């Protein structure tokens, strides 16, 4: 309103300039009419000014409120993304599920799990009767009596990570298994207490696996048939190595410190799959040590000696 008053004064001065030459009575009459008009217009002008102030004031308040809401939404979105990222770093698939289909790609570029996560994964155990039924043939009974390993005919099952279809050990497979056990050192062999034969093992994305670590160990009959992905010996020893990691975790910690310093692979494993993490590296190298020791020694004398002195006993 102060601005309006100043404007009125200016208008009066302007009028006085243009009315130069008029007599005093005429000037006074014009000024009086202008002043009267301004005074009469003041309430209306004030109402207009108040109206615009309310409109623009509300708009500013609305804009400020909208900005606050947007900032809150952005913060919520950032918190949600942070939670999702945190959940993304959580291990939901058994780290000991072996992909032996040849589709692993370059695992050296994948992020690796911590040693303690690998150990916890290897220590997964389920009641035997949930995943299989004990094979009671004479061959299976002999394996249990001699090596302390229960042979299970696998059941069909599904959990939040993996699924399996049922299968049974054949007499030929039991004979192969017994021959492998005969060649293994007692300390290594003693870490394993159960083996289940499944027809098919898959993660919940549908990817096939040759074996699944834990207690009991599970292997796929599809993987070890004549035209399968791997040999019975290689798969069995690989999976049994995970049980060594479960029962003797310091061995894996020492392996990781030597060959995976600060979680980084120092030298390539014997296979591409072995480059996944320290646990798979050890399992692949021990399997190669058993099936082809000279190849293992030539590839990496240090790993060969570590297996000989710390695992193969």
| pLDDT the model gives residue 67 | 47
Q: How many helices (H) and strands (E) does the chain have?
A: 13, 8
Rounded mean pLDDT, 246-273:
97
What whole-number distance in Å separates Cα of residue 147 and Cα of residue 144?
5
Q: Give 229's pLDDT tier (boundaries 50, 70, 90).
A: confident
6 has a pLDDT exceeding 60:
no
33-39 own/partner pairs: CB under 8 Å, 24+ apart? 34/8, 35/8, 38/4, 38/8, 38/11
310 has a pLDDT exceeding 60:
yes
Q: Give 225's pLDDT tier (boundaries 50, 70, 90).
A: confident
Rounded mean pLDDT, 122-148:
97
Report the SS3 class of residue 188.
helix
| pLDDT tens per residue, range 271-300 | 999 999 999 999 999 999 999 999 999 999
Describe the chain by its helix, strand, coil percentages, rounded to 5. 60, 10, 25
Q: Give 50's pLDDT tier (boundaries 50, 70, 90).
A: low
Q: Which two tokens stand for residue 295?
A: 């190849």
11 has a pLDDT exceeding 80:
no
* Predicted TM-score (pTM) above 0.85: no
| pLDDT the model gives residue 13 | 45
Rounded mean pLDDT, 136-148:
98
236 has a pLDDT exceeding 50:
yes
Bridge partners of 196? Answer: 152, 218
What whole-number distance in Å separates Cα of residue 301 and Cα of residue 30?
114
46 has a pLDDT exceeding 60:
no
Rounded mean pLDDT, 4-25:
48
Bridge partners of 202? Answer: 163, 208
53 has a pLDDT exceeding 60:
no
Note the helical H segments in 184-247: 186-189, 221-224, 232-247
Q: Give 113's pLDDT tier (boundaries 50, 70, 90).
A: confident
Rounded mean pLDDT, 223-241:
89
Q: Which two tokens stand for residue 26?
A: 């005429």
| Residues ≥6 apart with Cβ < 8 Å to 100 | 209, 210, 211, 223, 229, 230, 235, 273
- DSSP 8-state secondary structure symbol assigned to residue 274: G
**Of 11-20, 24-33, 143-152, where does mean pLDDT reach its minimum?**
11-20
Specify whether the CB–CB gap between 216 and 261 falls below 8 A: no
More confident residue, 115 or 48: 115
Q: Give 259's pLDDT tier (boundaries 50, 70, 90).
A: very high
19 has a pLDDT exceeding 50:
no
| pLDDT the model gives residue 82 | 40
More confident residue, 86 or 256: 256
What whole-number distance in Å separates Cα of residue 241 and Cα of residue 213?
9
Q: Element (H or E) spanning 211, and its range?
A: strand 211-212
63 has a pLDDT exceeding 50:
no
Return phi, psi of residue 188, to 5°: -65, -45
Rounded mean pLDDT, 198-216:
93
């Amino acid at each position: 309103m102060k601005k309006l008053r100043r404007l009125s004064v200016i208008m009066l001065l302007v009028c006085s300039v243009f009315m130069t030459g008029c007599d005093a009575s005429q000037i006074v009459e014009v000024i009086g009419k202008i002043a009267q008009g301004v005074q009469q217009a003041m309430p209306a002008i004030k109402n207009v000014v108040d109206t615009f102030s309310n409109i623009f004031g509300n708009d500013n308040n609305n804009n400020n409120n909208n900005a606050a809401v947007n900032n809150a939404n952005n913060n919520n979105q950032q918190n949600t993304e942070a939670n999702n990222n945190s959940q993304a770093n959580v291990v939901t698939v058994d780290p000991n599920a072996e992909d032996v289909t040849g589709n692993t790609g370059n695992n050296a570029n994948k992020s690796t799990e911590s040693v303690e996560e690998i150990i916890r994964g290897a220590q997964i155990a389920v009641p035997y009767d949930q995943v299989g039924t004990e094979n009671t043939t004479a061959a299976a009974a002999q394996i249990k009596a001699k090596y302390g390993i229960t042979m299970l005919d696998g059941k069909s099952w599904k959990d939040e990570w993996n699924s399996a279809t049922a299968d049974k050990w054949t007499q030929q497979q039991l004979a192969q298994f017994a021959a492998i056990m005969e060649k293994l050192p007692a300390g290594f062999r003693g870490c394993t207490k159960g083996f289940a034969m499944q027809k098919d093992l898959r993660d919940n994305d549908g990817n096939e696996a040759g074996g699944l670590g834990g207690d009991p160990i599970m292997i796929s009959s599809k993987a070890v048939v004549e035209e399968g992905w791997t040999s019975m010996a290689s798969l069995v020893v690989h999976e049994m190595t995970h049980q060594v990691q479960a029962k003797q975790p310091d061995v894996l910690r020492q392996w990781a410190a030597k060959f995976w310093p600060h979680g980084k692979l120092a030298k390539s494993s014997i296979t591409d799959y072995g480059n996944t993490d320290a646990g798979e590296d050890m399992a692949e190298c021990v399997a190669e040590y058993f099936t082809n020791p000279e190849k293992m020694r030539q590839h990496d004398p240090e790993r060969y000696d570590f297996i000989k002195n710390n695992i193969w006993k």
